[in-house]
Amino acid sequence: MRIQLLAAAVVLAVAGAANIAAAQGVDPRPPNNPEQKPALPGQTDAPETKSNVAFDVVTVAEGLQNPWSLAFLPGGKMLVTERPGRLRVVSADGTLSAAVAGMPAVFSRGQGGLLDVVLDPAFAKTNLIYWSFSEPQADGTNNTAVARGKFVDEATAPRVDAVQVIYHQRPSLNSPLHFGSRLVFGRDGTLFITQGERSIIPGRMQAQKMDSGLGKIVRINADGSIPKDNPFVGKEGVLPEIWSFGHRNVQAATLHPTTGELWESEYGARGGDEVNIARKGKDYGWPTIAYGIEYRGGPITGGLTQQAGMEQPLYYWDPIIGPSGMIFYTGTLFPAWKGNLFIGGHGTSDLVRLVIEGEKVVGEERLLKDLQPKPERIRDVRQGPDGAIYMVTDSATGRIIKLVPKKG
């Protein structure tokens, strides 16, 4: 009888441990705020869903200083940004060019510097590239900015000509943090610019203010003008470039391959990283509602996670992953991953794969947790023309790497 009771206790203990593991999803760390509950079923801790896809990690280029973003040029070359302010051309064999000439000065302290880079959708005709950067001001303040220029690929001296700064976030603040800065062209040719609220309290509190660009995703035309169908055009006291508001720091964004809507992932504090669909005119809550806690502990604002008129995230993490860079995979090299959402885990040094059904996350997997020669922080994720998944790793000796099907 005693043996039977012991066996039953063991079974119950194992079952309880399994239930706890299932409740925690793929991350064994406890939440920063265990008292908070999701507002929607499946909004956090999706079950671990292993695809069992075999792949190799290939180094494409190395010797980069804090690379932040990459873009694919016709003919097999790439552009890569380095946060200290350099734009480099990467040849197909991984050779790095000298710094591209003609780039404007950047504020390169903290999280600031040269950030995202994308090609004009009509690059074959225009040779235009667009980049985001932290822009220094004469009074010591700084802000997110976007510029464009004509890329001239000369073998020994690449350059950009006719540079125009087409967007300045306003107001400027004295902060080295939360520049956001992903650039995504919509299907209609307009340009989405993701931003942060600069982290410091005077900036944070402007994420809900409509006469401020802080904590906003904005939408402009390719020449910097304002699209007439933006949600707040013509409204007094509201910046006409605003697309959505109440964001904290958005460093991951991409278009949904079917709907064409802008999906984004943004940093929380200690907990509260989010995945959202950034919809026209919507309020995403920061800092009024949020999951997680402050960096130093304690509730964020009033400790609320829900409020009428404010959007809930489709999915959130507590503890955080530090989302930076994201793609929906649409290639053919990895059929099992088609339609999955990949997000760089800058805070967890891994690649997060989310299985999406409609607008719901139904599974999660963490890849590259044992990336060698050392754990590396993923800053950007892109799908290459070859169908491989490319990433840049953020360190003083950063790399461009790619995932390809395992040989054999």
Task: Please give the positions annotated as active site.
Answer: 178
Tell me the C-alpha to C-alpha distance, in Å, between residue 20 and each of 24, 43, 47, 244.
6, 17, 12, 37
Q: Which of 178, 244, 185, 166 is nearest to 210 (CA)?
A: 244
Return the DSSP state at 105.
Answer: P
Query: Burial letters for 18-50: b for 16+ Cβ neighbours within 10 Å, e otherwise?
Result: eeeeeeebbbeeebbbeebebeeeebbbbeebe
β strands within 126-269, DSSP E: 128-136, 142-152, 159-168, 183-185, 191-193, 216-220, 242-245, 250-255, 262-266
Distance in angstroms (rounded) separating the CA atoms of residues 115 and 134: 8
Q: Can you give the C-alpha Rg of the chain in angstroms?
A: 22
Distance in angstroms (rounded) separating the CA atoms of residues 186 and 47: 32
**With the CA atoms of 277, 221, 140 and 209 taken in that order, what torsion angle do they form, in degrees rounded to the nearest 10?**
-50
CB-based contacts of 366: which residues, under 8 Å, 6+ apart?
26, 27, 345, 348, 350, 351, 352, 353
The whole-angstrom distance between residue 326's C-alpha and the CA centroid of its chain comes to 6
238: number of CA atoms within 13 Å, CB side? 18
